[in-house]
Amino acid sequence: MPRPDATDKLAATAPAQTNRLIVGGLVAILTLGAIFAAIFLGINNTSKNTSTPAASGGQSAATAAKATPKGATEFGGPMVVNPGAPGNVPVLDIYEDPQCPVCAQFEQIYGPTVKGLVQANAAKLVVHTMTFLDTNLKNDSSVRAANGAFCAADQGKFYDYMAQVYANQPAKEGTGYPAEQLTSFAVKAGVADQQAWASCQAGLTYQAHTLALETNTEKSGVNGTPTVKVAGQTLKLTGNPADITDAVKAATK
């Protein structure tokens, strides 16, 4: 049976349909109607997260600590997707976890609009990849998926890789991403040097960067995903892509 599209899932109110969100050791059972209210009233669908993502294996801490992916603002900093955007356009910050179900729904609804803004350089897109669901779901898929995206960033394919992550997110939260699936995302995203990507992914080159980014994001006050800001102001989303375009226009100097 095909999965319902994001609009159907977010609009559903049947109490029999539930989605489990696990944050900071707390479990909240919400109907899909409640999820709709959470994301589109601008309320984080997660509680404050005070833990750190589950660590994965990989290279030594001394080596990994020096690794910052191309396009990141700094070690432990977010990715700037279109750094060439003019200075008079607002910054569009998006905070997402690769395993967050509502993030995948957000991408289905708002993704084309965001992509259009990036292509037109109408906003500077800054992506904060969060990974706290690794701890909550007791796996390491968010870190591995984020590392894969950062490895792709070295070849200019961060945004394309993350699009594959959300488009192919497992139907059941917590299932995670097998290694071969993360490799397939690199192929579908158009990463040219697959050998270089595979080496970067196998060594989890950007694991330390990924974990530092999570810590820094939490310290900034963002503890739920998805969270969207335009010019520093958190948006209240209604399910209409114009939510973002209108905010960008209003904030353009």
pLDDT band at 35 (very low <50, low <70, confident <90, very high): very low
Does any domain span residue 200?
Answer: yes
* Calpha distance 40→91 (Å, rounded): 21
Sign of CA dihedral 132, 135, 141, 144: positive
- pLDDT score, position 64: 53
Instruction: Check pLDDT > 50 for residue 231.
Output: yes
Does any domain span residue 16?
Answer: no
Does any domain span residue 12?
Answer: no
More confident residue, 176 or 38: 176
Does any domain span residue 6?
Answer: no
More confident residue, 235 or 5: 235
Average pLDDT of the chain is 81
Could you report the per-residue pLDDT of 45-103, keeping only the tens digit for each? Answer: 442 353 543 343 344 444 456 799 999 999 999 999 999 999 999 999 999 999 999 99
More confident residue, 50 or 239: 239
More confident residue, 248 or 66: 248
Count the domains in the chain.
Answer: 1
pLDDT band at 248 (very low <50, low <70, confident <90, very high): very high
- pLDDT score, position 21: 35
- pLDDT score, position 253: 82
- pLDDT score, position 12: 36
Mean pLDDT computed over 153-168: 98
Mean pLDDT computed over 34-38: 45
Q: Is 66 exposed, middle or buried (0-12, 13-18, 19+ CB in 10 A)?
A: exposed
Structural domain span for residue 162: 52-251
For residue 209, the domain's CATH number is 3.40.30.10
Does any domain span residue 8?
Answer: no
Does any domain span residue 145?
Answer: yes
pLDDT band at 146 (very low <50, low <70, confident <90, very high): very high
* Calpha distance 131→112 (Å, rounded): 24
Pair 157, 191: CB distance under 8 Å? yes
Pair 94, 114: CB distance under 8 Å? yes
Mean pLDDT computed over 135-159: 97
The alpha carbon torsion through 82, 83, 84, 88 (nearest 10 deg) reads 100
* Calpha distance 52→47 (Å, rounded): 14
Does any domain span residue 63?
Answer: yes
Q: What is the pTM of this model?
A: 0.79
Q: Residue 94 corresponds to which tokens in the numbers above?
A: 């998006």
Sign of CA dihedral 131, 132, 137, 138: positive
- pLDDT score, position 65: 61
Could you report the per-residue pLDDT of 198-225, keeping only the tens digit for each? Answer: 999 999 999 999 999 999 999 999 999 9
Does any domain span residue 198?
Answer: yes
